[in-house]
Structure 1
């Protein structure tokens, strides 16, 4: 039944911007609840607990001034890459495994775009299914750390090269280019 309902619910989620913010949030929570049983058990659960502990430390020790995605991703994953987010994918080559499969604790490396000229990095916090994940990230919402933000793969090939990320109101935003995932 979940497979049958998925396209319908994703269509509804894409129409959520037309709904009131409270309705959009309830729709997103309903979508997440439907797919929650599909989460992989075992190693993902342990990796998620470890990641959430690192995020808790980051939340308890915010930097002075602006909160940025790069230092946050580095702190919670241990991936020791510096520089703008748009450079992470290339810098990881030969240093860290890279791929197109989301895994808990992996860094999702967004490519630079007109809307994000410096790129963006986020950390996969939960794999819902092969085209839906949750991420923890910094500065997607200005100067904030957000947890378990919905991200949906909208690429034609299902290769995570294009995604839509939930906004503060729970609606799905623009299509964003992604280079892939960096594993530690």
Structure 2
């Protein structure tokens, strides 16, 4: 419980440094979250955001801890019927990160940089998050379910590295998901 309160306090204090979105121009590009996340992260997955998790599980490393450059995959729910993807741009604490993403809430079709996201799950596994909502200058009230994080490096490369490391240490390699 203390970690959740600390995370909320950190997130609230970060809000004081948030900048407002620039006014839109007619010739500005309209970004979808998947197109932006694919280009920004280098993770070459296509399709609706909610499909990214199942596509990644067998060919990329996935998990429940943020890493800079990884993609946080939101589950579809309510008005977010196709899910959402956001690229981790900074890790502030074990329960607070910043993401850069596109087409979110009050910034339809726009890219938002370094948006605060707080893990509000009971187990600290990033399965439920709250996202900074700039129009109200606070964390939004909605709790969003997530699948987890997709990491840029391929599963095979990670597994090979784990096995080499295990062999060097005289232990058995383990496969993480």
TM-score norm. by structure 1 comes to 0.68
Deviation by residue 1:84-141 (Cα, 9 ceiling, x = unmatched): 0010000111111000010000000000001310000000000001000000000112
1:91 and 2:77 equivalent? no
CA RMSD, Structure 1 to Structure 2 (Å): 2.6
1:71 and 2:38 equivalent? no
Helix, strand or coil at the partner of 1:72 = helix
Specify every segment of 5 or more residues in structure 1 that has no aligned partner in the other structure, as ranges: 15-25, 33-61
Of the three residues 105, 119, 132, the one matched with 1:166 is 132
Higher strand share: 2
Change (3 A) 1:67 1:88: same
- Runs of 4+ aligned residues of structure 1 deviating over 3 Å after TM superposition are 11-14
Change (3 A) 1:130 1:84: same
User: Whole-Å Cα distance in 2 between the matches of residues 85 and 69 of structure 1?
Assistant: 8
Structure 1 or 2, whichever has the larger Rg, is 2
Tell me which residue corresponds to 1:45: none
2:119–2:125 Cα contact (<8 Å) kept: yes
User: Whole-Å Cα distance in 2 between the matches of residues 162 and 103 of structure 1?
Assistant: 17
Q: How many equivalent residue pairs? A: 139
Deviation by residue 1:132-178 (Cα, 9 ceiling, x = unmatched): 00000001121110000000000011100000000123211110011
TM-score norm. by structure 2 comes to 0.71
